[in-house]
């Protein structure tokens, strides 16, 4: 069992608490689902952008929340430890929001019909996409029995979403699959862009270090030449520039010796 991390713990608490409130107090549930789900029935409702965050904390039934929270419990700590709590929370919410944006877009262009969208699945599938890139060969036991590599599992879920969205008239929950796909794309883009940024920073640091080493080598060559001149012609033969170079080299050596 994974050791739970701070953000994952609070996400679990909030999701479960909201579900119990909406499930046990029906009038409150009706109000919350109407105002806080992604419901692109009109253009005005589609532009209520708070819904892209709040819908992630609503669920359609016990099975819906159970599956999402189970995956969050097992995979969330892995990413939170890797990135830190702040970055993980941002990633989680952005993946969910991207899923919540893709669905109303497909409704507005006439590809899907309008219905309320709820659930953390966009965030969860974003985590799966990230895991498929970062830990492609990690074994995941589906329902605790079937071993599947993380990368293969991510590809399977992406394929299901794409096929469903290509023929939404033949499959149920096309809106949910839009959220899944939006979350997965956001998760993959985040990880790949992070990897490119890290490589660029490493290249910059490497280039800076190489320049510094080259400057040190050039300085040492010049110091050796000056010392040879002193040995041959005496200290009085040095120019002002050569004396400055010797002074600079002495200070640099003293600084290194301090460490």
For residue 194, give the CATH number of its domain. Answer: 1.20.1540.10
Is the same domain home to 140 and 209?
A: no
In a domain? residue 1:
no
Tens digit of each residue's pLDDT (9 = 90 or more) over 134-161: 988 888 888 778 888 989 999 999 999 9
pLDDT value of position 140: 85
3-state secondary structure 156-194: HHHHHHHHHHHCCCCCCCHHHHHHHHHHHHHHHHHHHHH
Percent of the chain scoring above 90 in pLDDT: 47
Tens digit of each residue's pLDDT (9 = 90 or more) over 20-38: 999 999 999 999 999 999 9
**Which H or E run contains 234?**
none
pLDDT value of position 66: 95
Is the same domain home to 244 and 171?
A: no
Helix (H, G, I), strand (E, B) or coil at 5: coil
Is the same domain home to 20 and 131?
A: yes
* Dihedral, CA of residue 182, residue 185, residue 189 and residue 192, to nearest 10: 150
Tens digit of each residue's pLDDT (9 = 90 or more) over 49-83: 899 999 999 999 999 999 999 999 999 999 999 99
User: Residue 40 and residue 43: Cα distance in Å, rounded?
Assistant: 7
Instruction: State the residue range of the domain holding 222.
Output: 203-258
pLDDT value of position 259: 46
pLDDT value of position 62: 93
Q: Are 45 and 94 in contact (CB under 8 A)?
A: no
User: How much is the average pLDDT of 119-123?
Assistant: 93
Residue that finishes a domain, picked among 156, 186, 201 = 201
């Amino acid at each position: 069992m994974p050791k739970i991390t701070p953000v994952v713990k609070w996400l679990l608490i909030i999701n479960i608490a909201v579900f119990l409130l909406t499930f046990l107090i029906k009038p409150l549930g009706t109000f919350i689902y109407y105002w806080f789900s992604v419901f692109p029935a009109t253009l005005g409702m589609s532009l209520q952008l708070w819904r892209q965050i709040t819908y992630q904390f609503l669920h359609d039934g016990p099975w819906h929340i159970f599956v999402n929270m189970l995956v969050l419990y097992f995979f969330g700590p892995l990413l939170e430890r890797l990135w830190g709590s702040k970055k993980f929370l941002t990633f989680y919410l952005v993946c969910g929001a991207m899923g919540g944006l893709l669905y109303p877009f497909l409704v507005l262009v006439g590809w899907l019909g309008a219905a309320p969208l709820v659930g953390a699945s966009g965030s969860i599938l974003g985590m799966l996409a990230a895991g498929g890139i970062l830990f492609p060969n990690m074994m995941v036991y589906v329902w605790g029995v079937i071993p599947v590599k993380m990368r293969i599992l991510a590809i399977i879920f992406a394929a299901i979403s794409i096929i469903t969205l290509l023929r939404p008239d033949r499959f149920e929950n096309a809106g949910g699959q839009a959220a899944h796909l939006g979350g997965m794309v956001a998760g993959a883009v985040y990880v790949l862009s992070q990897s490119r940024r890290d490589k660029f920073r490493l290249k910059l640091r490497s280039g800076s270090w190489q320049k510094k080493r080259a400057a040190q080598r050039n300085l040492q060559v010049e110091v050796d030449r000056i010392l040879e001149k002193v040995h041959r012609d005496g200290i009085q033969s040095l120019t002002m520039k050569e004396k400055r170079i010797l002074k600079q080299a002495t200070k640099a050596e003293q600084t290194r010796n301090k460490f």
